[in-house]
Amino acid sequence: MNRFRIAKVIIVFSSLSYLSITFLRNYNSQENIEKRCILKFEKDFKNHLETSHEEWNQILDLADNNYLKCMGIPQY
């Protein structure tokens, strides 16, 4: 009975470790990082009709910089 309990603990620990590693690998993939960054800064890219051309350019520059920062791409 004691061996069965030890085997269950080892199986549960191994399964949790495997699932954790798989989740982190998928969560930190380049495609998922890009999707999260796009969703996070998508509202910055929406053009409002009442904004001027200069103000819209500033909004786009800020959103672009935030997106690059989120992606981990060094800025100039």
Q: What's the average model confidence in pLDDT over 36-50? A: 70
Look at residue 45 and tell me whether its pLDDT is greater than 70: no
Distance CA 31, CA 38 (A): 11
Is 44 or 26 the better-scoring residue by pLDDT?
A: 26
Is 28 or 49 the better-scoring residue by pLDDT?
A: 28
Distance CA 43, CA 64 (A): 12
The answer to whether 63 and 51 are in contact (CB under 8 A) is no
The answer to whether 62 and 44 are in contact (CB under 8 A) is yes
Place of tokens 């989120």: 70
pTM over 0.75: no
Q: 75 in the Ramachandran plot: left (φ > 0), alpha (ψ -120 to 50) or beta? A: beta
Look at residue 47 and tell me whether its pLDDT is greater than 70: no
